[in-house]
Structure 1
Amino acid sequence: MHGTLPQAAPGRRAASLAARLPLTLRLALRELRGGLRGFAVFLACIALGVAAIAGVASISRSLSDGLGREGRRILGGDLSYNLINREATEAERAALTAEGPVSVVASLRAMAVAPGEKGAALVELKAVDAAYPAAGELLTEPQAPLADLLAPQEGADGSVADPALLTRLDLRVGDRITLAGRPFAIRASLVSEPDKIANGIGFGPRLIIAQDALRATGLVQPGSLNRWSYRLQKPGASDTDLVATLERVARAVPDAGWEVRSRVNADPRFAKSIERFTQFLTLVGLTALIVGGVGVANAVHAFVERKRGSIATLKSVGMPGSGVVGLYLTQVMLIAGLGTAIGLGIGAALPYLLDAAFRNDLPLPLNPTLAPAELALAAAYGLLTALAFAITPLGRAHDVPVSGLFRDAVDPSRTGVHWRYRAILLAALAALVGLALVTAFDRRVALIFIAAAGIAFGLLRLVALGLMAGAARLPRPRRAAPRMALANLHRPGALTPAIVLSLGLGVTLLVTLSLIDANVRRTLTSSLPARAPNLFFLDIPTADADGFHAFLGKAAPGGKIERVPMMRGRIVALDGKPASSIRPPDDAAWVLDGDRGITYAEDPPEGSGIVEGRWWNAEEARGRLVSFDAELGRALGLKLGSNVTVNVLGRNVTATIANFRKVEWRSLGINFVMVFSPGTFRGAPHSDLATLTLPGGTDAKAENAILRDVARAYPSVTSVRVKDALEAVNDLVGKLVLAIRGASGIAVAASLFVLAGAVAAGHRARLYDAVVLKVLGASRGRLLSAYSLEYGALGLATAVFGLIAGSLAGWVIVSKVMRLEFALDLGGALVAAALAVAFAVLIGLAGTWRILGQKPAPYLRQF
């Protein structure tokens, strides 16, 4: 035998390994050999919820990694210094060029005029230097060096146009347009630009020209609305080197007043938006998981009923109640682990699938990656939800005596839940709440969600109990089918609580989303244009303001014209505290983030009322005073007498708050956060802003004619059609709503799974009923009629609750969170409620159809 020991057979090694496992785990694994019968809904609910949370988190992480990886390309360099309404001075340029090569990009809005009667269109103009693009690649059709495409040829400067501009003005590559009366030849169409995200939302198509050509147009004037971006190139520099560069430039030109971005955080506003939207979708996914938890509870309850004999046997041979609960809890959590693993696999794969399917169409840099921390969080949500919803039905078996477990299924023992399992339930719920709060971007939103979920569960439980109590007290109908339906609503083991809970959550969610969608779209597309100006006119030179006013009066007789001076400024300090160190509430942070439009006025602006303080008189108007938006002022902690410092045209100007105004932003009229006294900016260069409201409301033909005439008569004036701006915003909102609908669809799917599971859980009781009634002579039609009435009543009661609760939730979100006017548009909500009733009846009948076809004899032997 050469002194060697014989190797154990594989089967023996496996048996030896299994023998070393704890007894509870060995028994649980042995029972699972029989398959997962009865746990399909359980698995689906856990997998759906975990997949939603893991998928949203993985895509968010991939987007964040993409922004970080592509930060230099998005920014156009390693550091970006941005100025509003002016170019950098020689000293400021010198401070930047001392650190490395600098690429300059200017951006503004202008009117592109097509030849003949093709009209004019607003364009987002980008003027670039010879170094553009310093990072990334510009793709055009046809592809050619950018310097060649933009060079002057045959009496016209070159340009690269977004295909949308060609479509809007019926142009082709090779055609010409004019900007401020200067001809430009369209040499190529734009395929993609590397720094598109950094430009934000545009209200017109992109048009790229050379900076020398921009200067020749005369569009850049003191006070005109333009943005200059100085992109510092420091390839190979570490993050520490960038910080040192920022400090040196700040010391060299401390009063430049520019907005600075780094490749490390190329677009902080966009990154913050991703975090907020991710939290919202994660909460929707958690809703799906919690709804699925009801399915978990139903499945575990049915599982315990099927195991009555096994539980009785285990107890009769001496296993304690805690051992029985531990055995089946282990088995349930193993199945929950399988469902969680399926959900994690789907969620982790989503970024890769999204990248593979839409790589060339995604406007955002996506870097598909595995996100271990985010996946671990989704797994924790899944397992804790399974534990919270499974422990109560499992815990009921702890104190049930063996005799009670052997008793007939029609007379189940009624026992409470041992205190230790209540403690486990509370611990699991506390862990879920803690996870939601710790990982939330906005804890206030997370708290509202938690409170709403708890209230919804409590109310639905009360609805179910009230429905059962009402059914028990109603007089008994004389006809058999209604009498049987009424009894089924309140009898022991009735499906009423499970169906009301699962269906009620789904209907409430559908109604809420329907009302949010309807109100947002109504606000953006129907109510605003009826009362908003038709056209905005920007960059009106002060010298031409009176002539332009008279021109509009002739072009639109009877139209309402408003005109105010306008500059751009950025808040740099409040009461001497730097804006960068202030942490305002999220709904007010935008005021300190970037530049704002500002104006000055002798009298209070139309449409705004003084709520605190008083307006300045003629003598006070010579000083430096400011009127501030009341709501934003409260959010920023400002009061009468507070000082606000703004940087305008490179100068810091400090003014004292004289009053607070209530501003009606939704009118889309001329409104400003800050209105200064005339003395604040006496002598400062600026342009005018004007609006035109046509007497007949929206008139596309008249608007286009005015746009064309203004572009020809005043080529330096930028015209914005309000309807076009609203459509751009509406398109963005539509995409966000689509994402919300997709995530919410998972929650609705979970509700349907739970509903199906609730019906399946009552299979045994329904089978017993059907057998006895068929023996007594009941026909299949009569039984179907009874079940239809039962499920119809449940669906109708739940739909009414969903309409009320969903309408209330929609009102809170629209009016309190979004701060929009709320209108109770129940068109889509009623459709959702009607579908809920139909689904309740169809799924209920589908679950009982097979039962009605069974022959009584085999089942009578079992019963």
Structure 2
Amino acid sequence: MKRWLRLSWRLLLRDGRAGEVSLLLVALIIAVAATSAIGFFTDRMQRTMGQQATELLGADRVIASSQTIPAPWVQRARAEGLLVATTAEFRSVVLAGEAMQLASVKAVDAAYPLRGQLRTAPQPFAEGQVTSGVPAVGEVWLEPRLFGLLELQPGASLELGITALTAARALVYEPDRGGDFYSLAPRLLMSMEDLERSGVLQPGSRVEYRLLLAGDSPSLERYLTWLTPQLSDNQQLITLQRGRPAISRALERSERYLGLASLVAVLLAGVAIAMGARRYSERHFDMSAMLRCMGASQRDLLMISLLQLLWLGLFGSLFGLLLGWGLQEGLVQLLRPLLPGELPGLGIKPVWLGLATGLVTLAGFALPPVVRLRQVPPLRVLRRDLTPMPAQAWLIYGSAILCLMLLMWRYTNSVQLTLAILAGVIMSALALGGLLGLLLRVTVHRLRTRTLSVALRFGLNHLLRNTQVTVGQVLAFGITLMAMAVVVMIRTELVGRWQAELPENTPNVFAVNILTEEVEALEQFLDQRQLARSAVFPMVRGRLTQINGEPARQVVSEEGRGSNALRRELNLTWSVGLPETNRLVSGRWWNEGTEQTTPLVSVEAELARRLGIEVGDRLGFSITGVNLEAEVANLRSVEWESFRPNFYMVFAPGVLEPFASTYMTSFHRPLDNPEVGRELIRAFPSVTVLDLEVVIQQIRGIVDQVSLAVEYVLLFVLCAGFTVFFAAMQASLDERLQEGALMRTLGARSGQIRASHISEFLLLGALAGVVAALGTETISFVLYQEVFDIAFSWHPIYWLALPLLGALLVGGAGWWGTRRVVTRSPLGVLREL
């Protein structure tokens, strides 16, 4: 073994000095550098975005319960090393002199909040400042509009239950402000100690207790594994996905994109490694034959080759990791003004993944051609035409497919999705290969029938000389272009969609509890001030009680029983047309003016999935003690992140009108016009105004960071793609040098040889562009529908741009890679034969 190690190391050093492993090493380094740079950067960005996103919950995880949080739960959490805080939220009447107002009271302990920070102001509607701590005993913080409703000034006294409290400051922002925005009463924040002596809560009071948890992921997972089986129907675990669907959707899509981009970069680098390994093995036939003549066995050659790959893999992977670290550090410094403060330190996970990716990629794509060296016959030292039999097809493709499966499984974390993608890729490659062979013959044949120069005819003949090789090259170039095009396309769709979801005029103020007689006056108030607003929607409170005549909680799945839609009253509305930012998924919308014999209702698609509701089902509702049954007419997808009025249930006109209702709307308040909120409260005292500008700015900041990560990950993918072009040119360089030397010996001019190469590569690139356009549309359709949940549309521009781009890229790479053919001395090349 020591002998093999020494010899393999000495031979690798010799090859390194001679430049024999340059292409293979460069491809490996770029593969690891690209993936590790993506890994380092995205790992730090994702941890930062995850930390910022948890600020919108006030914690990493939240347990909500209608009963007091059991003391053993708190003790176990602290024993696991977790940070713990408790809150209690309920509605109660607050008194101030002769004035009274229903308020949303929130009592917190001294540890609140675990993530994020409170913002308060000394006066109502003043600019908020970060505040440490919570209200002191005997003090409360009031939402600015509550000061106006109670006609209070800071420092005045108010009554809650049997306790007198001082309204000390104006509450501007809570990191975990959530719940039902459409019916929130103005907030009052108080100490948990004051809650106990206020006497407000009595047996039977409606209150929501929350246990806030924060800590490292392993401790959280251990604790939740212990706690989850103990949760009852009136208790639930709230995560970012449940608590903030707008943020979770952006983060989920970004994680899928970054995983896809990393996979594409690895696969492109793998193709480059395969091409480099083939050239490396062919250039080592003579050395292997010499070793066989000196007594080396096939086992010796195999072990030496494997150890050389191992040395190469370790060195290339370590150097690639170092380069990847440097790239991401440079990127972080370049983007420092745009990044969210200090990023977390480097994690160990990207290091191991980078090493594993480099070794697996090298083994999967380089092992079959290198193993071929052990079959070199000793007689080759006398007869240069003797070459070993090529590796079996099952070994070459099986090794690559196994490598692809491992890599895709690592980046998708789904065996089913991995097998589905792999089957689709193999079937597409076979179908495209056959189509390419036919297309190549037809295209080249038609061009050959025209009057062309000698150089162009020679380039076209070179394409037909070995159809299998040409088809393989077109597929390689086409898949490379396709991979880059898919990544660019999805990046454009995601960033455009995120920016469209939160434009500059996104509604940042909700006006709810609008009385019927105030609707027209409020619309005029907003329109006169030229404030962009959404439609005004009526709102009725009701509870979903039955599905197809059966109690709803009994017929739904376990996932459905945990839905808030069955735990509380829903906001119900009616509308003639499909609401803005809603999209019909199935069923038909009701027609305006058409009489309905049966009450109809439209259900939000995701809720329908959780509850097992389909078009045609009958839903039973309880509205102010009155039972109502309606038939599901259609299912809608809803953009909850649009910050416009959205509803789970939308009824047809004429169904809910008999019930008492209030109205709601949302509008955009310019940042330089804070007086609008105060004017609205003064003009309409009964209207509840919710200012969400702080929440929107935080969400927009997270989305901007996600978009930034997507933008720069794209650069690494493009670098990996260009590596394939370079490797492809180098893989055929020896053959082209020999052909060029013979042609120049026979009288061909350098210009003719260069023209033949350029024409060949231009046609190769154009054909690869056609393949890339077809594959891009097919793969993007699957990814949009199944992975990113984006509506698919055709992209005609890619059918025009990709063939042109392919011709330019492949033609340019071919010109650059084969320039030595016309500069090397023909005599020097022929002497090497």
TM-score, normalised with respect to structure 1: 0.66
Partner amino acid for 2:482? T
Aligned to 1:390: 366
Q: What residue in structure 1 maps to residue 285 of structure 2?
A: 308
Give yes or no for the alignment of 1:42 onto 2:17. Answer: no
| Alpha-carbon distance change, 439 to 487 in structure 1, aligned in 2, over 3 angstroms | closer
Aligned to 1:599, the other structure's residue is in SS state strand
Is 1:160 equivalent to 2:136 in the alignment?
no
In structure 1, C-alpha distance between the alignment counterparts of 2:553 and 2:665, rounded to whole Å:
33
Deviation, structure 1 residue 480: 1.4
| Residue 294 (structure 2) pairs with residue 331 (structure 1) | no
- State the distance in 2 between where 1:775 and 1:756 align: 28
Change beyond 3 A, Cα 1:680–1:432: same
CA displacement, residues 186-239 of structure 1 (integer Å, 9 cap, x when unaligned): xxxx9x99x85x569999xxxx997489xxxxxxxxxxxxx9885669999x97
The CA deviation at 1:774 is 2.3
Matches within 5 A, 1:468-547: 469-470=441-442, 473=445, 475=448, 478-491=452-465, 496=470, 499-520=473-494, 538-541=510-513, 544-547=515-518
| Larger RCO (CA under 8 A, 6+ residues apart) | 1
Shift of 1:330: 3.0
Report the AA paired with residue 520 of structure 2.
H
Aligned counterparts, 1:582-597, within 5 A = 582=559
* 1:386-415 deviation line (CA, Å, top 9, x unaligned): 22222332344455545567555xx67583
The whole-number CA distance in structure 2 between the counterparts of 1:241 and 1:312 is 59
Q: Which moved more, 1:720-729 or 1:278-287?
A: 720-729
Q: Is the 8 A contact 1:572 1:645 kept in 2?
A: yes
Residue 33 of structure 1: SS of its match in structure 2?
helix
**Which residue does the alignment assign to 1:840?**
810
Q: 1:772 to 1:596 in 2, by over 3 A?
A: farther
Q: 1:178 to 1:781 in 2, by over 3 A?
A: farther
> Structure 1 residues 525, 30: closer, same or farther in 2, change over 3 A?
closer
Match of 2:572 in 1: 600
Instruction: Measure, in 2, the Cα distance between the counterparts of 1:73 and 1:537.
Output: 21
Q: How does 1:811-850 map to 2 (within 5 A)?
A: 811-827=781-797, 830-831=800-801, 834-850=804-820
1:608-648 deviation line (CA, Å, top 9, x unaligned): 79849999x99998xxx986445653465446999999999
Give the drift of 1:511: 2.5
* Equivalent residues of 1:304, 1:393 under 8 A apart: yes
Read off the aligned partner of 2:780 and give its amino acid letter: G
Cα 1:405–1:663 change in 2 (3 A) is farther
Contact 1:50–1:381 under 8 Å retained in 2: yes
Shift of 1:756: 0.8
Q: Deviations over 1:548-587 (max 9, x none)?
A: 2354268659999542216699999995479995299xxx
Instruction: Pick closer, same or farther for the CA change 1:69–1:830 going to 2, 3 Å.
Output: closer
| Residue 672 (structure 1) aligns with | 647
State how far apart, in whole Å, the 1-side matches of 2:372 and 2:12 are: 21
1:810 counterpart = 2:780: yes
CA 598–736 in structure 1, closer or farther in 2 if over 3 Å, else same: same
Does residue 689 of the first structure (1) align with residue 664 of the second (2)?
Answer: yes
Match of 2:743 in 1: 773
The one-letter code of the counterpart of 2:516 is A
Aligned to 2:418: 446
Residue matched to 1:118: none
Change (3 A) 1:201 1:753: farther
Does the residue aligned with 2:664 lie in a helix, a strand or coil?
A: strand
Is 1:296 matched with 2:273? yes
What's 1:748 paired with?
718
- Residues 832, 742 of structure 1: alpha-carbon distance in 2 compared, 3 angstrom cutoff: farther
Cα 1:656–1:790, aligned 2, differ >3 Å: closer, same or farther?
same
1:224 equivalent in structure 2: none
State the alpha-carbon separation in 1 of the partners of residues 695 and 243 from structure 2.
26
Moved more, 283-292 or 662-671: 662-671
The question of 1:858 aligning with 2:833 is answered no
- Aligned counterparts of 2:323 and 2:546: Cα–Cα separation in 1: 46
Corresponding residue of 1:168: none
Task: State how far apart, in whole Å, the 2-side matches of 1:271 and 1:520 are.
Answer: 14
Calculate the aligned-residue CA RMSD, in Å: 6.4
Task: Output the CA distance in 2 between the equivalents of 1:150 and 1:704.
Answer: 14
Match of 2:8, as an amino acid? Answer: A
TM-superposed CA distance for 1:691, in Å, is 6.9
The one-letter code of the counterpart of 1:747 is V
Aligned to 1:659: 632
Distance 1:745 1:440 in 2: 21
Alpha-carbon distance in structure 2 between the residues aligned to 1:378 and 1:716: 60
Q: Per-residue CA shift, 1:122-149, capped at 9, x if unaligned?
A: xxx9998896774579889xxxxx8xx7
* 2:570 alignment partner, SS class: strand
Aligned pair in 2 of structure 1 residues 731, 453: CA closer, same or farther (>3 Å)? farther
Tell me the distance in 1 between the aligned counterparts of 2:621 and 2:235: 12
CA 1:240–1:546 in structure 2 vs 1: closer, same or farther (change >3 Å)? same
CA contact (8 A) 2:460 2:760 kept: yes
The alpha carbon displacement at 1:290 in A equals 1.7
Q: Deviations over 1:53-72 (max 9, x none)?
A: 44555566667878999999
Q: What is aligned with 1:27?
A: 7
Structure 1 window deviating more from structure 2 (338-347 vs 304-313): it is 338-347
> How do 1:77-96 and structure 2 match up within 5 A?
80=62
Structure 1 stretch 227-236 or stretch 656-665: which is displaced more?
A: 227-236
Residue 716 of structure 2 aligns to a residue whose secondary structure is helix
Amino acid at match of 1:309: D
Instruction: Look up the SS of the partner of 1:287 in the other structure.
Output: helix
- Specify the alignment match of 1:633 in structure 2: 608
CA distance in 2, matches of 1:127, 1:717: 18
Q: Secondary structure of the residue that 1:582 maps to in structure 2?
A: helix
Partner Cα separation in structure 1 for residue 338 and residue 106 of structure 2: 25
1:321 Cα offset (Å): 4.6
Rate the CA distance shift 1:362–1:478 in 2: closer, same or farther, 3 A.
Answer: closer
Distance 1:138 1:79, change over 3 A: closer
The alignment partner of 1:854 has SS state of coil
CA distance in 2, matches of 1:78, 1:249: 20
- More displaced 10-residue stretch of structure 1: 274-283 or 93-102: 93-102
| CA–CA separation in structure 1 for the residues paired with 2:728 and 2:224 | 60
The residue type paired with residue 633 of structure 1 is A
State percent identity of aligned pairs: 18
- Out of 317, 320, 324, the residue aligned to residue 343 of structure 1 is 320
Local SS of the residue matching 1:417 = coil
8 Å Cα contact 2:59/2:213 also seen in 1: yes
TM-score under structure 2 length normalisation? 0.68
Deviations along 1:329-365, one digit per CA (max 9) or x if unpaired, are 4323321232222334455678877888878975499
* 1-structure distance, mates of 2:483, 2:657: 55
Q: 1:76 to 1:663 in 2, by over 3 A?
A: closer
Alpha-carbon separation, structure 1, partners of 2:108 and 2:632: 49
Give the unaligned 5+ runs of structure 2: 79-83, 92-102, 131-143, 155-169, 192-206
Q: Note if contact 2:773-2:798 (Cα within 8 Å) is conserved in structure 1.
A: no
Deviation at 1:754? 1.8
Choose 362-371 or 477-486, whichever is displaced more. Answer: 362-371
Q: Secondary structure at the match of 2:128?
A: strand
Question: 1:526 & 1:75 partners in 2: Cα distance?
Answer: 25
Q: What is aligned with 2:733? A: 763
Distance 1:610 1:750, change over 3 A: closer
Q: In structure 1, the residue corresponding to 2:14 is in which secondary structure?
A: coil
